[in-house]
Amino acid sequence: MPELPEVETVCRQLEPEIEGRRIERLEVYDPRWCRPAPPAELEAAVAGRTIEGLGRRGKYLLLSLDDGRTLVMHLRMTGNLVLVEGEDELNHLRARFVLDDGRELWFTDPRRFGEALLLGDGELDAHFAQRLGVEPLSDEFTAERLGEIAAGRRAPLKSFLLDQKGIAGIGNIYADEALFRARLHPLSPAESMKPEHLEALREGIVAALEAGLDGGGASIDDYRDGRGEKGRMQDEFLVHTREGKPCPRCDGTVERIVVSGRSTYFCPSCQVKLRRRPRRRRPARRSP
Ligand SMILES: [Zn+2]
């Protein structure tokens, strides 16, 4: 499933190619892609508009149009946004943008969970306010901020990292990689992190995401970049999907457990399990 590095890779590749291009027309083949909006309504709203940019927030792609509106797209499990020149053999086409230079932007998606939503000028911040937390590659993402997000959270660190309302853009792959880099056990309660753990986790998250970007994203299954090519990050995982393989850091062996229904890979020898902090006991209530 595409996470921050995969979505950011698509953005960086496509934005210089499509910025300033006019959308001749949009063709939606699957009404589920843009529901509840009817495909014809979205097609009419987008046709003739000029693309002002392609950005990212969390795992969302943001296609800015010259009328101030933004088409928000999410790739979900198996979606891809690919720039196509001439004939192509991509399957599972759900929508395509025909650009004024003859090229086309295709949204392909075998499992059809990807989606699109057109937001009006000024609606973007409100839309994401309740859904997405801090951007981990921004200056706002400090150890202090991480501590504020983790305060009072008894959830295991793995689940904590997957919650988009805390930190935006991390999924199953980069949560495992970040925890390994930080030497933290995935079942440690989030609230148990001390300042040194918070700093280690912040560094681990940033390093894991940057490694993903350097590797052009990870193609475990369907992910393709903006040019339709596979990423290389899947060959560079430290622990993710490496069950039974030697730990890259110590003599341990990578194990797999399931946390919140998600496969989780870690080294039990060098990733420390933090203890749950004891709750302060309330003074016993005296009867009057
Ligand atoms: Zn180890």
Distance 267 CA to ligand 1 centre (A): 5
Residues 6+ apart with CB under 8 A from 283: none
Beta-bridged to residue 253, according to DSSP, are: 246
Q: Per the structure block, which two tokens stand in for 61?
A: 């792609």
Q: Which stretches of 130-187 are DSSP H helices?
A: 143-150, 157-162, 172-182
- pLDDT score at 283: 63
Query: Which pLDDT does position 288 carry in this prediction?
Result: 53
List the one residue out of 216, 211, 210, 209 whose CA is nearest residue 170: 209
- Identify whether the C-beta of residue 209 lies closer than 8 Å to the C-beta of residue 174: yes
What distance in angstroms lies between residue 28's CA and the mean position of ligand 1's atoms? Answer: 48
DSSP code for 93: E
Give the pLDDT score at 284.
Answer: 61
Instruction: Identify whether 36 is a catalytic site residue.
Output: no
* Rounded Cα distance, 42 and 155, in Å: 40
Residues of the chain with pLDDT under 50: none
The pLDDT, as a whole number, for residue 48 is 98
Q: Is 2 a catalytic residue?
A: yes
Q: Could you tell me which of 22, 77, 67 has the C-alpha nearest to residue 45? A: 67
The reply to whether 56 belongs to the active site is: no
pLDDT of residue 220: 86
Sheet holding 104-108, edge to edge: 23-28, 93-99, 104-108, 80-84
Beta strands in 109-206 (DSSP E): 115-119
Check residue 286 and give its pLDDT.
61
Active-site hit among 59, 96, 202, 242: 59
